[in-house]
Amino acid sequence: MSEITVERLAVAIPEVRKRKLPGRIISRITLIVLSIAFLFPFYWMVATSLKSPVEMRASPPTLWPHELVWQNYADAVTAVPFWTFFRNTVIITIFTVIGSVISNPLIAYGFSRIKWPGRDKVFYLVLATVFVPFPVLIVALFDIFANLGWVNTFLPLVVPFFFGQAFWIFLMRQFLLQIPQEIADAARIDGASELQIFFRVIMPLALPAVGVVGLFAALFAWNDFLGPLIYLQGVEKYTLAVGLTFFRSQHDVQFNLLMAASTLVMLPVVAMFFLFQRTLVEGITLGSIK
Amino acid sequence: MVAGTETPKRGRLKLGKTERANLRLGLLFISPWIVGFVAFLAYPLYYTLRISFTRFSGFGEATWIGFSNYERMLTDDLFWKSLGNTLYYSALAVPIGVVVALVLALAMNQRLREVSTYRGALFLPSVLPLFAVSFIFIALMDPIRGIFNQILGVVGIPAINWFADPRYAKLALVILAQLGAGQVALIFLAGLKGIPLTLYEAAEIDGAGAWTKFWNITLPLMTPIILYDIILGLSLGLQAFTQAYVIGAGPAGSVGNPANSTLFYVLYLYLNAFRYSQMGYAAALGWVLFILTFLLALLVFRWARSWVHYETV
């Protein structure tokens, strides 16, 4: 039960016993209908983003734009300070990823590759912290960061990630536990220090898991809303999430432009999804194993 | 105090040399977590509790007012409204989410050559930014410029003014939440793959049909993962914020529209903290949310004893 990996999910498909044709057709139709239902909102986003203001007023709305107005994209990025928001989001995302891929492997190493008294009890504490809802902390965190003079900077959004996140520590630890002990022992006999073992022996083997943590961190930072909403107060500091929401409520942004901006926000995520789909799936299934 | 210090000291002395070295090394590796735990969790939690007993605007001195913030909730209509909205939303979104994710997982588990394409299509929406998905739903469900009502019209459902009608706004958010089911479905799928084929083969010999196999083998063996998802979903449901903030936004920075029907608990907490300068009250709301989440999770665990199947195969 504990070794379910994506490889097995993928390999399981070809060597199957023959199934009756009608059953396969029903499966296929069900999957196609479900896929269309789940992707349709995004089709609607793209279609709307290309409609002219005149066509936006059509009733009933047209399913496909008669005329593709690419100008909407140029208008969307000038109607709001899009590239400022974009740059801010990229900076926060990069530092969130850096902090996460440094801290979580180190911490997880301490919870898996070194045996010390009380280790597993402390790890239970790590797991328990997952159950503290973040909104509970926002009043205190804001006050603490305000006293440090960090409000309206990226620091409150980025710095905590340099100290590990419970769930990502858990993911890394799951992975590190699977690496045989003998590999490190050999290096230890050769007189390598624990840090050398960490960097030269274990980390190269754990790169897939580091990738998972980095991806999750990037997705989190790119999609986060509550954090930036609380800590960022000047428009010039806004991320895409907070900036676009702000402009929509303040300036009654047109639907087609809003959809164009939404498409642009989603493009990097979709690109990452297609590049790293396997890693993402692996990470999600890794988290489900007890 | 003096006598008490003897015991741990003796306990510590029992550690061997390598054990002590390992302890030092282990603590060194986890030290970032220890610092983060104290600075960003334990202390803020304690600090929130302290603020919750004060009147505090965010600036200047906090005034100690005892349990007044907690007493105030009892007579605060908006508190009850936001709590009711959140519980109503979670009570719908969580069970529907389990069913949708289970359906997706069963579909993803079909043996088709191109099944990984469908898996990707169903999984993709769950990683896209929620605030942008919320924008899409505003456009999609708009009674004039959206197409959602037209689609419903095909199956004979009359037009609904989703985000202007207090009866339907939360329902729309429940529908929106289902786009995230792909991620849970992957976890369920891993569970489905872990069920030994021999169980199904044995059932087939006994003449069991597809439904019997699902009801007597698949579902019981999936219950531990379903429980995990209910706990996780409940915790996230109680924290729901982004979609309510984006979709319930109205003119002049108002939120919770229409008629406070999307005023969720965390949204109300946010308003008190950052718009009304009621940091003390917001802190109290935070602690109530913490306790509520904990109690509901406990309740689900107790209830689960009657239906979760813990035998290992």
Q: Tell me: do B257 and B111 sit in the same domain.
A: yes
The alpha carbons of chain B give a radius of gyration, in whole angstroms, of 25
The predicted structure's pLDDT at residue B200: 93
- A9 contact B CB<8A: yes
**A95-101: average pLDDT:** 98
CB atoms within 10 A of CB B266: 25
CB contact under 8 A, B144 and A59: yes
pLDDT at A165 over 80: yes
Query: Chain A residue with minimal CA distance to B242?
Result: A225
What residues pair up with B54 in beta bridges, in sequence order? B64
Average pLDDT, chain B: 92
| A148 CB-side CA count, 13 A | 16
Rounded to 5 degrees, what are φ and ψ at B59? -125, 155
CB contact under 8 A, B313 and A1: yes
Q: Which residue has the higher pLDDT, A122 or A287?
A: A122
* Structural domain includes residue B255: yes
Task: Tell me which of A30-34, A244-248, B237-241 is least confident.
Answer: A244-248
- The Cα B228–Cα B308 span in angstroms is 11
Mutual angle of helices B77-108 and A21-49, in 10-degree steps:
130
pLDDT at A101 over 90: yes
A27, B110 in Cβ contact below 8 A? yes
What is the domain partition of chain A in residue ranges?
Answer: 6-74, 80-253
pLDDT at B307 over 50: yes
pLDDT at B238 over 90: yes
The predicted structure's pLDDT at residue B228: 92
Contacts of B295 (CB under 8 A, 6+ apart): none
Q: Tell me: do B53 and B144 sit in the same domain.
A: no
Q: Tell me: do B33 and B141 sit in the same domain.
A: no
Query: Chain A residue with minimal CA distance to B41?
Result: A137
| A residues 187-226 lying closer than 8 A (beta carbon) to B | 194, 198, 219, 222-223, 225-226
Q: Tell me: do B135 and B26 sit in the same domain.
A: no
Query: Chain B residue with minimal CA distance to A281?
Result: B186
Average pLDDT, chain A: 90
Query: Domain count of chain B?
Result: 2
pTM (2 decimals)? 0.91
Task: Give A139's contacts in chain B (Cβ within 8 Å).
Answer: 48, 51, 269, 273, 279, 282-283, 286
Whether this model's ipTM surpasses 0.85 comes out as yes
A–B CB contacts, 8 A cutoff, strictly below: 299
- CA A141 to chain B, closest CA, distance in angstroms equals 6
CA B284 to chain centre: 20
CB contact under 8 A, B127 and A226: no
Q: How confident is the model at residue B278 (pLDDT cuts 50, 70, 90)?
A: very high
pLDDT at A121 over 50: yes
Last residue of a domain, one of B70, B85, B115: B70
| A199 CB-side CA count, 13 A | 5
pLDDT at A4 over 50: no
The predicted structure's pLDDT at residue A57: 87
B246, B134 in Cβ contact below 8 A? yes
Q: How confident is the model at residue A285 (pLDDT cuts 50, 70, 90)?
A: confident
Q: Which domain holds residue B84?
A: 76-304
The predicted structure's pLDDT at residue A51: 96
**A99-107: average pLDDT:** 98
* Structural domain includes residue B232: yes
- CA B289 to chain A, closest CA, distance in angstroms equals 7
The predicted structure's pLDDT at residue A252: 74
Please, what CATH class does the domain formed by A80-253 belong to?
mainly alpha
Per-residue exposure over A13-23, b if at least 16 CB sit within 10 Å of its own CB, e if not? eeeeeeeeeee
Select from B115, B190, B235 the Cβ nearest to the Cβ of A133: B235
Q: Tell me: do B92 and B203 sit in the same domain.
A: yes
- The Cα A259–Cα B150 span in angstroms is 20
Reported as a single tens digit per residue, the pLDDT across A140-156 is 999 999 999 999 999 99
pLDDT at B83 over 80: yes
Q: Tell me: do B146 and B212 sit in the same domain.
A: yes
CB contact under 8 A, A143 and B51: yes
CB contact under 8 A, B179 and A41: yes
Last residue of a domain, one of B70, B86, B103: B70
- The Cα A227–Cα A230 span in angstroms is 5
The predicted structure's pLDDT at residue B72: 97
Residue type, B62: A
Q: Tell me: do B51 and B125 sit in the same domain.
A: no
- A38 contact B CB<8A: yes
Q: How confident is the model at residue A137 (pLDDT cuts 50, 70, 90)?
A: very high
Reported as a single tens digit per residue, the pLDDT across B167-193 is 999 999 999 999 999 999 999 999 999
Select from B41, B115, B313 the Cβ nearest to the Cβ of A132: B41
**B260-264: average pLDDT:** 96
**A125-147: average pLDDT:** 95
User: What is the token pair recorded at A179?
Assistant: 């690496």
The predicted structure's pLDDT at residue A191: 87
Task: Give B297's contacts in chain A (Cβ within 8 Å).
Answer: 131
Q: Tell me: do B60 and B168 sit in the same domain.
A: no
Q: How confident is the model at residue A8 (pLDDT cuts 50, 70, 90)?
A: very low
Q: Tell me: do B121 and B191 sit in the same domain.
A: yes
What residues pair up with B63 in beta bridges, in sequence order? B55
The predicted structure's pLDDT at residue B8: 47
The predicted structure's pLDDT at residue A288: 62
The predicted structure's pLDDT at residue B311: 64
Q: Tell me: do B259 and B154 sit in the same domain.
A: yes
**A97-117: average pLDDT:** 96
B230, B98 in Cβ contact below 8 A? yes
Closest to A224 in 3D by CA, of A242, A205, A236? A242
Select from A57, A146, A285 the Cβ nearest to the Cβ of B186: A285
pLDDT at B10 over 90: no
- CA A176 to chain B, closest CA, distance in angstroms equals 14
- The Cα B101–Cα B107 span in angstroms is 10
Look up the CATH number of the domain holding residue B238. 1.10.3720.10
- The Cα A102–Cα A124 span in angstroms is 22
Q: In sequence order, what DSSP letters do the residues of B148-183 get, joined into one string?
A: HHHHHHHTTPPP--TTT-TTTHHHHHHHHHGGGHHH
- A42 contact B CB<8A: yes
